[in-house]
Amino acid sequence: MLATNDMPIVEPPSFAAFGLIPFQINAHFMEDDFFEGHMGETRRERLQEFLEENTGPVLAIREGAWLTGSVATGELVLGGENGALLFETVDGTLSESELPTGSDLSKLLIARID
């Protein structure tokens, strides 16, 4: 739950979750133009900063998108209408990939978060 959009009011003892998936999800991801006039960080900027200090991929799922599949069988597919973005650090370089609906995301189930 490290890449959540909700900032806690008090310091929780841990951000550890159930560990059902080995990557971070940023749900309800909104594009930068949504924040026009906001004068604060965009979600994209926050996720980029997150990956400067943390490892493991972050799947930014847009509104109207979802994941289907089974951790037990190693299958994961992006459903919905609006797709997602995958943020990850590859060989020390931040990478951002557009993922259309129907993308096979099974490789994320073997990702590692340190």
CA distance 84 to 26: 10
Structure-model confidence comparison of residues 100 and 110, the more confident one: 100
Residue 100: pLDDT above 90? yes
CA distance 98 to 72: 26
**Identity of the highest mean pLDDT range in 19-23, 52-56, 58-62, 87-91:** 58-62
Residue position matching structure tokens 């557009």: 98
CA distance 89 to 40: 24
- Residues 36-57: tens digit of each pLDDT: 665 667 888 888 888 888 888 9
Taken in order of first residue, the domains within the chain and their CATH numbers are 24-110 (3.40.50.880)
Residue 68: the pLDDT is 96
Residue 79: the pLDDT is 97
Structure-model confidence comparison of residues 98 and 36, the more confident one: 98
Helices (H), the chain: 43-53
